[in-house]
Structure 1
Amino acid sequence: MATYGEGDPPDNAALLCEFLRDEQPNFSGVWFTVFGLGNKTYEHFNETAKMVDKRMEELGAERIFPMGLGDDDANLEEDFMRWREAFLPKVTGQFGWELNTDAEGSRQYRLEWVEEGRPYFKGEFGRLTAYERPRAPFDVKNPYLSTVTENRELHGDESQRSCKHIEFDVSKARIRYDTGDHLGVYPTNDSALVEAIIQLLDFNPDNVFRLINVDEDATKRNPFPCPTTARMALTHYVDICAPVKSHVLRGISEYTSDEKEKAHLQLLSTASEEGLALYNTYIQKERRSIVDILKEHPSCKPDIDHLLELLPRLQARYYSIASSPNKQPDKIAVCAVVTEYDIGSRHIKGVCTNFLRDKPVESNVPIFVRKSQMRLPTRPNVPVIMIGPGTGFAPFRGFLQERQHFKELGKDVGAMHLYYGCRHPDHDYIYKDELEAFVDAGVLTHLECAFSRAQAEKVYVQNKLWQTKERIWDALVQGAHIYVCGDARNMARDVQNTLLRIIREVGGKSEDEAVNYFKELEKHKRYQADVWS
Structure 2
Amino acid sequence: MVSTMVVHGVNFSPVFLLLGAGVLLLSLAFFLWPKSTPNSVPAESKKYPLEDEPDDDGMSKKVTVLFGTQTGTAEGYAQAFAEEGRTRYNGEVTFKTVALDKYGDEADIFEAKLKEEQLVIFYLATYGDGEPTDDAADFYKWLTELSDDKGAWLSNLQYAVFGCGNSTYEHFCKVGKVVDERLSIFGAQRLVEVGLGDDDHVQEDDFNAWKEGLWSHLDKLLDSKIDVPPTPGSAYSIAIPEYKVEIHEQGTEMVQRDFSKSFKSFKRNRVIYDAHNPCKCFVAARRELHTELSDRSCTHVEFDISNTGLTYETGDHLAVYAENHKEYVEEAAQLLGQPLDLMFTLHIDDKVENPKNASLHAPFPGPVTLEAALRRYADLLSPPKKSVLTVLAAYASVKEEEARLRMLTSPFGKEEYNDYVVKSKRTLLEVMSDFPSVRVPLGVFFAVVSPRLQPRFYSISSSPKFSPDRIHISCALVLGTSASEKVFRGVSSTWLKGSIPAEEDQENASLAPIYVRTSTFRLPVDPKKPIVMVGPGTGLAPFRGFLQERAALKDSGVTLGPAILFFGCRSRKQDFIYEEELNDFVKRGVLSDLSVAFSREGTTKEYVQNKMMQQASAVWDHLSNGGYFYVCGDAKGMAKDVHRTLLTIIQEQDYVDGSKAEAIVKQMQNEGRYQRDVW
| TM-score in terms of structure 2 length | 0.72
| Equivalence for 2:188 | 61
2:240–2:391: 8 Å Cα contact kept in structure 1?
no
Give distance in 2, aligned partners of 1:282 and 1:178: 42
Give distance in 2, aligned partners of 1:215 and 1:64: 35
| Equivalence for 1:207 | 343
Write the letter of the residue equivalent to 1:291.
Answer: L
SS in 1 for 2:452: coil
Give distance in 2, aligned partners of 1:278 and 1:137: 46
Write the letter of the residue equivalent to 1:481.
Answer: Y
Deviation at 1:502, TM superposition (A): 1.6
Matched, 1:399 2:546: yes
Give distance in 1, aligned partners of 2:561 and 2:258: 44
SS in 2 for 1:2: strand
1:422–1:450: 8 Å Cα contact kept in structure 2?
yes
Matched, 1:314 2:453: yes
2:478–2:487: 8 Å Cα contact kept in structure 1?
no
**Deviates further, 501-510 or 444-453:** 501-510
Matched, 1:416 2:563: yes
Would the alpha carbon gap of residues 306 and 521 (structure 1) be closer, same or farther in structure 2, given more than 3 Å must change?
Answer: same
Instruction: Choose the corresponding residue for 1:9, options 111, 127, 132.
Output: 132
Instruction: Choose the corresponding residue for 1:477, options 613, 621, 624.
Output: 624
Give distance in 1, aligned partners of 2:294 and 2:487: 19
Structural mapping, 1:434-449, within 5 Å: 434-449=581-596
Matched, 1:227 2:366: yes
Give distance in 1, aligned partners of 2:464 and 2:643: 30
Number of equivalences: 524
| Equivalence for 1:364 | 511
Matched, 1:105 2:239: yes
**Deviates further, 390-399 or 30-39:** 30-39
Give distance in 2, aligned partners of 1:343 and 1:242: 23
1:184–1:316: 8 Å Cα contact kept in structure 2?
yes
Give distance in 2, aligned partners of 1:150 and 1:104: 50
1:359-379 Cα shifts (integer Å, max 9, x gaps): 111221221100000100112
Matched, 1:354 2:494: yes
Structural mapping, 1:77-96, within 5 Å: 77-88=204-215, 91-92=218-219, 95-96=222-223
Deviation at 1:249, TM superposition (A): 1.5
1:384–1:417: 8 Å Cα contact kept in structure 2?
yes
| Equivalence for 2:111 | none
Give distance in 2, aligned partners of 1:375 and 1:213: 48
2:595–2:611: 8 Å Cα contact kept in structure 1?
yes
Structural mapping, 1:38-187, within 5 Å: 38-88=165-215, 91-92=218-219, 95-96=222-223, 97-98=228-229, 99=233, 101-107=235-241, 109-111=243-245, 121-122=255-256, 136-187=271-322
Write the letter of the residue equivalent to 2:665.
Answer: F
| Equivalence for 1:132 | none
| Equivalence for 2:414 | 276
**Deviates further, 77-86 or 46-55:** 77-86
| Equivalence for 1:511 | 658
Give distance in 2, aligned partners of 1:45 and 1:118: 49
Write the letter of the residue equivalent to 2:670.
Answer: K
1:111–1:305: 8 Å Cα contact kept in structure 2?
yes
Would the alpha carbon gap of residues 509 and 524 (structure 1) be closer, same or farther in structure 2, given more than 3 Å must change?
Answer: same
1:26-63 Cα shifts (integer Å, max 9, x gaps): 44343322221111121111100101222232333333
Deviation at 1:392, TM superposition (A): 0.4
Give distance in 2, aligned partners of 1:244 and 1:89: 29
Write the letter of the residue equivalent to 1:501.
Answer: T
Give distance in 2, aligned partners of 1:88 and 1:255: 30
Give distance in 1, aligned partners of 2:568 and 2:549: 22
Write the letter of the residue equivalent to 1:353.
Answer: S
Would the alpha carbon gap of residues 388 and 112 (structure 1) be closer, same or farther in structure 2, given more than 3 Å must change?
Answer: same
Would the alpha carbon gap of residues 454 and 408 (structure 1) be closer, same or farther in structure 2, given more than 3 Å must change?
Answer: same
Deviation at 1:190, TM superposition (A): 1.9
Write the letter of the residue equivalent to 1:293.
Answer: V
SS in 1 for 2:131: coil
SS in 1 for 2:141: helix
Would the alpha carbon gap of residues 519 and 67 (structure 1) be closer, same or farther in structure 2, given more than 3 Å must change?
Answer: same
Would the alpha carbon gap of residues 242 and 163 (structure 1) be closer, same or farther in structure 2, given more than 3 Å must change?
Answer: same
| Equivalence for 1:261 | 401
Unmatched segments (≥5 aa) in structure 1: 129-134
Deviation at 1:85, TM superposition (A): 4.7
1:418–1:446: 8 Å Cα contact kept in structure 2?
yes
SS in 1 for 2:548: helix
SS in 1 for 2:539: helix
Give distance in 2, aligned partners of 1:105 and 1:261: 21
Deviation at 1:382, TM superposition (A): 1.5
**Deviates further, 239-248 or 87-96:** 87-96
**Deviates further, 14-23 or 238-247:** 14-23
Would the alpha carbon gap of residues 184 and 125 (structure 1) be closer, same or farther in structure 2, given more than 3 Å must change?
Answer: farther
Give distance in 2, aligned partners of 1:443 and 1:144: 33
Instruction: Choose the corresponding residue for 2:432, options 294, 300, 304.
Output: 294
Would the alpha carbon gap of residues 81 and 122 (structure 1) be closer, same or farther in structure 2, given more than 3 Å must change?
Answer: farther
1:162-211 Cα shifts (integer Å, max 9, x gaps): 11111110002111100000010111112212212212222355323133
Write the letter of the residue equivalent to 2:431.
Answer: I
SS in 2 for 1:439: helix
Instruction: Choose the corresponding residue for 2:644, options 497, 500, 507.
Output: 497
Matched, 1:450 2:597: yes
2:252–2:367: 8 Å Cα contact kept in structure 1?
no
Deviation at 1:325, TM superposition (A): 0.1
| Equivalence for 2:383 | 243
1:116–1:208: 8 Å Cα contact kept in structure 2?
no
1:430-482 Cα shifts (integer Å, max 9, x gaps): 00000111111111111111111111111111111111111111111222111
Write the letter of the residue equivalent to 2:470.
Answer: K
1:26–1:59: 8 Å Cα contact kept in structure 2?
yes
Would the alpha carbon gap of residues 156 and 415 (structure 1) be closer, same or farther in structure 2, given more than 3 Å must change?
Answer: same
Matched, 1:530 2:677: yes
SS in 2 for 1:338: strand
Work out the percentage of aligned pairs sharing the same amino acid.
Answer: 38
Write the letter of the residue equivalent to 2:165.
Answer: G
**Deviates further, 14-23 or 179-188:** 14-23
Give distance in 2, aligned partners of 1:327 and 1:368: 19
SS in 2 for 1:162: strand
Would the alpha carbon gap of residues 324 and 87 (structure 1) be closer, same or farther in structure 2, given more than 3 Å must change?
Answer: same
Write the letter of the residue equivalent to 1:176.
Answer: T
SS in 1 for 2:654: coil
SS in 2 for 1:506: helix
| Equivalence for 2:469 | 330
Write the letter of the residue equivalent to 2:593.
Answer: H
Give distance in 2, aligned partners of 1:369 and 1:506: 40
Matched, 1:461 2:599: no
**Deviates further, 49-58 or 110-119:** 110-119
1:490-530 Cα shifts (integer Å, max 9, x gaps): 21111111111221111222322221111111111111010
Deviation at 1:112, TM superposition (A): 5.0
Write the letter of the residue equivalent to 1:231.
Answer: E
Give distance in 1, aligned partners of 2:259 and 2:605: 46
2:336–2:442: 8 Å Cα contact kept in structure 1?
yes
Matched, 1:36 2:159: no
Give distance in 1, aligned partners of 2:463 and 2:582: 15
Give distance in 1, aligned partners of 2:471 and 2:136: 27
